[in-house]
Structure 1
Amino acid sequence: MKLRFFKDNYTNRNNFDFKNREELYVFIQKKAIKTFGLIIFVNLLKLFLFISISLMVDDSEELKVNCFLDTLLKIVDFVFIVFPIAFSIVCAYFIYFVKLKNNFETLLQSISFIKKSLNFYVLSILSAYLVIIYITMYLTIITSTNEPDLNNGFSFYFILIVTCLISTIFILFVMWIIYKLTYSIFLKKLNSYYYILKNTL
């Protein structure tokens, strides 16, 4: 007797045919562990790129003068460096935990936790990018207003603010697309595995 599990609200509808629950569990376990491993790989890759870019970029003199901006950037650096490492450690732990416990309930709970952690992680990273964008906007405005050759009238400030806002929206949209193309794939897979397992309990 074959088991068929199908979820109506799957984005990518798949039929899974298995002879028993154990065969289904082994299949989902392998897929989930592989997804956890890919998340770790992408996290470490992004961390490597961030560190490489940071080493090539010099600190701005304006940031050294402004203590608040300097502190804010240190917090953002903390998010970009520590969060990927922490999330990768969490994924590695659950790979070990799933293999150790080796049952439906543990795998279901692990997938659910990683899903929530993934949403929080992506939101935190995008928020950090938003902080960097606004710091850049602030420095651009300050630098522009200190230029004696520029006409600092109403139209100048209006154009400057509108340009900064459009740039912010565009950059955030690009970053959202990048994370959508990477982490959303993992999230869809985890959702699929989660509901398949949930329907068998």
Structure 2
Amino acid sequence: MSPALIDVVTGWLEHGGTRILVDPGDAELAGAVADLVAPPCPWVEDGGASSKRRLAELSEEVGRIARALAALSASDMEQALAEPPHAGAVGNASLVRALIRLRKLRGQHFMPELFADPAWDILLDLAIARIEGRMVAVSSLCIAAAVPATTALRWIAQMTEQALLVRQPDPRDGRRMFIGLSDQASAGMDGYLAAARGVIAVAG
């Protein structure tokens, strides 16, 4: 399919397991046919990187920051996290935007391909959308993932299967499908951002 049809096509698909190609070249088409003949391990990603390992690294990163926060004194922790609910939401939005800007900044000094991490880019984009009360279309999320659309769709499918993302039909257009964080992923991002605020407060 073409990029313009991403939202419509993904809205039609009720179940995972479908391989979607966006403006594929001859090599990608040949690879897809080869996968039909001998399906690859579902966790093998482009370039030989393991998406399962990537997702595990995300959890490990959250754990490292949580342990650093736990090492703070009780007074430091209370000062870092004691915010009224509305202020916390605003603070989280600013923090997520800063994280996104820092990720993009690396591409100005190094080859962007070195830092491809679509799962984390997807989580960050959906986290700020949740804070701001916005719905995110599949096509928009593909752009936020900062990888080719075919790869982004594969990550979205895998993360949905892992119960990190949920599909949300567009109430105004049944052909479109939105993507949001699951309750599990929302709780994980809230915990990560709270821990990150604490670490930043100590570093400052």
Q: TM over 0.5: same fold?
A: no
The higher radius of gyration belongs to 1
| TM-score (structure 1 length as normaliser) | 0.29
| TM-score (structure 2 length as normaliser) | 0.29
Higher helix proportion (structure 1 or 2): 1
